[in-house]
Amino acid sequence: MNFFTDSFYLKTFWITIKVSALASLFTLFLGFPIAYVIARMKSRLAMLLLAGIVVSTFVTIVIKVFGLIIIFSADGVLNTTLMNLGLIDRAYSIIGTQEGIVVGLMHFTIGFSVLLLYSVVVTVPPSLEYAAQIHGASRWRVYQRVIIPLCTPGFVVGGLMIFNMCMGAFTSAALLGGGRVLTLPVLVQRTVMMEVKYSTAASIAFVLLVSVILINLISLIAIRRLRSARLVIA
């Protein structure tokens, strides 16, 4: 087996990175506003919402994925509702597509994203926002120039954590991929269960592990250099 010269393995490798990266970005994009709103709520309500998020993270991934299949399949709730309302004339399904896997990975990691980002946002004093607004900054400018820069460490850690989880996710990719879209974890399972090639499966798993480590190291080095460059410019 020559992983990096075989087009099939390379395609599966890039699909895995692509869906993991997209899911990570979209999850952070959705999770940060939620974390910010919860962090600025009254303590009792915030704790209640956080408890709900924590409980949801313990729901088995199989139940979450089958819930998505019920909603987004060709004969699912969403398509049936839209067709009954006359908004679409035929069913559209994301099951068996890369988009479906991305949605599944987002559903799997959104709770972790909110909890991690909340722990960062809650450390930013609201007085900083009030001070910026007093000096004429708009709400969006405060969000852009004060909140987001101070929460950058949370974005970095959260993004890498979610990316790592997505790269190793099996259930979402296996069920929502519908057998038509393969990722490396699914390929490892198929290589073992269908082809009974343990050495090949071990090699694929090793490539997955090394690639995740390298991507994390490269990302951290790039971010550190970017920070250093900003300090020099400042």
Q: What is the pLDDT of residues 28-75, one digit of tens each?
A: 999 999 999 999 888 889 999 999 999 998 888 999 999 999 999 888
What pLDDT does residue 124 have? 87
What pLDDT does residue 93 have? 87
What pLDDT does residue 229 have? 57
Domains of the chain plus CATH, in order, are 3-183 (1.10.3720.10)
> Contact 70/113 with Cβ under 8 angstroms?
no
Task: Determine which helix (DSSP H) or strand (DSSP E) holds 133, and give its type and residue range.
Answer: helix 126-134
Dihedral angle at the C-alpha atoms of 97, 100, 102, 103, nearest 10 degrees? Answer: 170
> Contact 3/203 with Cβ under 8 angstroms?
yes
* Residues of the chain falling short of pLDDT 70: 1, 226-234
Please, is 108 exposed, middle or buried when counting C-beta atoms within 10 Å of its C-beta (0-12, 13-18, 19+)?
Answer: buried
What pLDDT does residue 140 have? 85
> Contact 77/71 with Cβ under 8 angstroms?
yes
What pLDDT does residue 227 have? 67
Quick one: which of 174, 193, 192 has its CA closest to 182? 174
To the question of pTM greater than 0.85 for the whole model, the response is yes
What pLDDT does residue 141 have? 87
- For 24, 75, 83, the CA distances from 92, given in Å and listed in that order, are 24, 9, 10
147/39 Cα distance (integer angstroms): 12
